[in-house]
Amino acid sequence: MPPTYRAPAPWAPAAPSGPVSFPSAPGASVQGRGAGVPEVAEKAEAAYVGDGPPTYEPEPTGLPAADPDDLGSLVADTVLDGARYGTSTLRAVSLRGDSARYRGEPRRDALLTARFGSGEDALVLVAMATGARATAGAHRAAADACAWIGRAVGRSHARLAQDIRAARRGDLKSGLHRLTDRSLGRLRARAADLGLEPEEYTASLRCLLLPADPRCRTRVFFGVGSGGLFRLRGGAWEDIEPRVATATGAAVVGFGSPTARTPEGDRLTVDLGITTPPSPYEPAPAPPRDPFRFRASVARPGDTLLLCTGGLAEPLRGEPELARHLTRRWAGSGPPGLAAFLADTQVRVKGYADDRTAAAVWEA
């Protein structure tokens, strides 16, 4: 008798274990279910968390309009990828938000995963970008940002891998800042070529560098724009988004109050609130730009590092049950498969309907 397919028993997530909230300052812990705590079953069909169902349907509805002469610019609803190098296992996903699905708009988020080099000298790049809201070419700008930073990192990957292994933090920060500025500068040039204002063809950009060398546990984040950088360590979430200096001299991050110094110890200037009129002898000032963000951290066995765009970072910070859900799924259980990772990251929250792009790294 030929073998027959038997559907597996439905997966069930655990019941809530108490309120979870993110800290008021970066680096503080968020308590949740940790390693060694047995998982309790949840209903497989629970596709959302929070106090009510989201407004939109959970599955794609309308497709974006297609140009028969430009089919290469079409963007898939969902992109999923993964890899394992050294002591780390990578899972990455980019999916269209509920609002864009409902309106038949393309995904504004772009995702790039790439390996440069081979063996222990290889360097893995994860780049994610979000195009400007309510602009026709947002998805193209995001794709360009990922492609251009990928090209820049790829051409410099040997030096970058050496600097990461040697813990040359200053060289890494300045070098990656230059590569990011050049890549985003190309976006501004492309906007001019298209006859658009710079803010109409731009994107936030967030990247992660992972060395393949198992002896090197340094993980490097850099980028510009909104999003989140979180770490699950010992069953508790930490918001480790780096502080950045604004034009007024304040150091800002997702949480916390301004400080007089950066995390590196650099003093920040003080805004005295004095308005200076523009000089007729000097060119007009450049348009304001988002500050550059950089963080190099050493991973520990059992850590899970999560880098994401604002579409996931905002509900993670705003809905405690989503943080609790991911803690139950990921703390002490090892990396999920690609399908399970997609299911984890697409759990919806009412009031948050933007695209979601996320890359998570599990450390062995």
Under a CB-based contact definition with an 8 Å cutoff, are residues 359 and 208 in contact?
yes
Q: Give the per-residue pLDDT at 253.
A: 43
Residue 265 or 82, more confident? 82
**Domain holding 337: CATH number?**
3.60.40.10
Predicted pLDDT of residue 290: 84
Order the strands of the 292-298 sheet from edge to edge. 109-116, 123-131, 203-211, 218-224, 292-298
Q: Which of 184, 69, 79 is nearest to 132 (CA)?
A: 184
Q: Which pair of tokens denotes residue 70? A: 């430009």
Q: For residue 64, is it within any domain?
A: no
Q: Is residue 54 part of a domain?
A: no
pLDDT at 245: 61
- Nearest-CA neighbor of 96 among 84, 112, 79, 113? 79
Question: pLDDT band for position 246 (50/70/90)?
Answer: low
What local confidence, expressed as pLDDT, does residue 277 receive? Answer: 47
Query: Is residue 242 scored above 70 in pLDDT?
Result: yes
CA gap 210, 158 in Å, rounded: 13
**Is residue 29 predicted with pLDDT exceeding 70?**
no
Continuous H helices in 138-201: 138-155, 157-165, 169-193
Q: State the pLDDT at residue 82.
A: 98
Strand residues in the chain grouped as ranges (E): 29-31, 48-49, 78-85, 88-95, 109-116, 123-131, 203-211, 218-224, 228-233, 236-239, 244-245, 251-252, 292-298, 304-308, 348-349, 356-363
Comparison of pLDDT for 21 and 69, the residue scoring more: 69
Inter-CA distances, 77 with 49, 72, 91, 111, Å: 22, 14, 17, 12
Q: Of 218-227, 283-292, 334-343, which gets the smallest average pLDDT? A: 283-292
Q: Which residue has the higher pLDDT, 266 or 101?
A: 101
Identify the residue with better confidence: 117 or 258.
Answer: 117
Question: What is the structure's pLDDT at 288?
Answer: 54
**How many domains are there within the chain?**
1
Which helix (H) or strand (E) covers residue 312, if one does? helix 310-318
Residue 257 has pLDDT above 80, yes or no: no
Residue 175 lies in a domain: yes
Is residue 41, in this structure, part of any structural domain at all?
Answer: no
**Amino acid found at 241:** E
| Greater model confidence, 108 or 22 | 108
- Give me the pLDDT at residue 42, please: 42
* Alpha-carbon dihedral sign for residues 255, 258, 262, 265: negative
Average pLDDT (282-287) is 46
Q: What is the mean pLDDT of residues 184-198?
A: 95
Quick one: DSSP state of residue 121?
Answer: G
Tokens 């297609």 -> residue: 66
Question: Does residue 113 belong to any structural domain of this protein?
Answer: yes
Checking if the pLDDT of 310 tops 80, the result is yes
pTM (predicted TM-score): 0.78
3-state helix, strand, coil in the chain (%, to 5): 25, 25, 50
> Is the Cβ–Cβ distance between 59 and 47 less than 8 Å?
no
Please check the confidence at residue 148 and state whether its pLDDT lies above 60: yes
Structure tokens, 92: 């990455």
* pLDDT tens-digit map of 167-181: 999 999 999 999 999
Q: Which domain holds residue 82?
A: 29-34+77-268+291-363
pLDDT computed for residue 306 by the predictor: 98
Average pLDDT, the chain: 82
Cα three-residue angle 135-137-140, rounded to 5 degrees: 140
Q: pLDDT category, 32, cuts 50, 70, 90?
A: very low
More confident site: 284 or 232:
232
More confident residue, 63 or 50: 63
48: in domain: no
pLDDT for the residue 52: 83
CB 352 within 8 A of CB 311: yes
